[in-house]
């Protein structure tokens, strides 16, 4: 793979780290927040409390996906990181929605990894912009199976959950 050029690969998902699949961010500026639910964005709350603020807004948080997945190409197995936009293709829902689902169904994250295992995708991989980052970034994901179903659909069926209930 050339240094800064994106590479498109056909691959199979071999596994997923289900222990840490999402992270909290400010819902206004999307800066990363600590996992403590009571912590607020220091930047947005500081600006909303200043005299120049036209709108008095207290920042809340939301969750975004950050998946570590192992993929196998025709030549090697590698670990890549899949952030929110690409992970939504795999999961079919927001990280908040999946997090809430996983609170009610404790093994949902582990089962999600099993559901994805063996699925084939066309992925575009980019070198990380941060020099300290270890893994290639997945920028696009395209399922190669015509019968692919997002993880949340499979899990809802497996756990007998109806949409809207």
Confidence of residue 49 (pLDDT cuts 50, 70, 90): low
DSSP of 14-64: EEE--SS-EEEEETTT--B--S-TT---HHHHHHHHSTT-SS-----EEEE
* Average of per-residue pLDDT across 60-73: 94
- Decide if pLDDT at 115 tops 50: yes
Confidence of residue 52 (pLDDT cuts 50, 70, 90): very low
C-beta atoms surrounding 132 within 10 Å: 5
Specify the pLDDT at position 55. Answer: 43
pTM of the model: 0.85
- Decide if pLDDT at 37 tops 80: no
Residue 114 DSSP one-character state: H
Across all residues in the chain, what is the average pLDDT? 88
Specify the pLDDT at position 108. Answer: 95
Dist CA 123 CA 143 (whole Å): 9
SS3 71: strand
- Decide if pLDDT at 54 tops 90: no
* Average of per-residue pLDDT across 8-27: 94
- Whether 16 and 68 have beta carbons less than 8 Å apart is answered as yes
Specify the pLDDT at position 53. Answer: 44
Confidence of residue 48 (pLDDT cuts 50, 70, 90): low
What would the pLDDT profile of 69-94 be if each residue is shown by its tens digit?
999 999 999 999 999 999 999 999 99
Among candidate residues 65, 82, 81, 69, the one with its CA nearest the CA of residue 25: 65
């Amino acid at each position: 793979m050339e240094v800064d050029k994106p590479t498109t690969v056909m691959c199979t998902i071999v596994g997923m780290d289900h222990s840490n699949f999402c992270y909290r961010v400010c819902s206004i500026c999307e800066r990363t927040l600590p996992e403590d639910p009571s912590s607020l964005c220091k930047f947005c709350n500081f600006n909303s409390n200043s005299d120049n603020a036209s709108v008095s807004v207290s920042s809340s948080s939301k969750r975004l996906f950050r998946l570590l997945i192992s993929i196998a190409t025709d030549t090697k197995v590698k670990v890549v990181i899949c952030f929110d936009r690409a992970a939504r293709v795999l999961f079919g829902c927001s990280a908040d929605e999946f997090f809430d689902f996983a609170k009610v169904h404790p093994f949902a994250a582990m089962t999600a990894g099993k559901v994805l295992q063996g699925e084939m995708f066309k992925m575009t991989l980019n070198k990380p912009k941060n020099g300290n980052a270890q893994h290639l970034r997945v920028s696009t994901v395209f399922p190669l199976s015509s019968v692919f179903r997002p993880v949340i659909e499979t899990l809802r069926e497996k756990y007998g959950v109806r949409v809207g209930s």
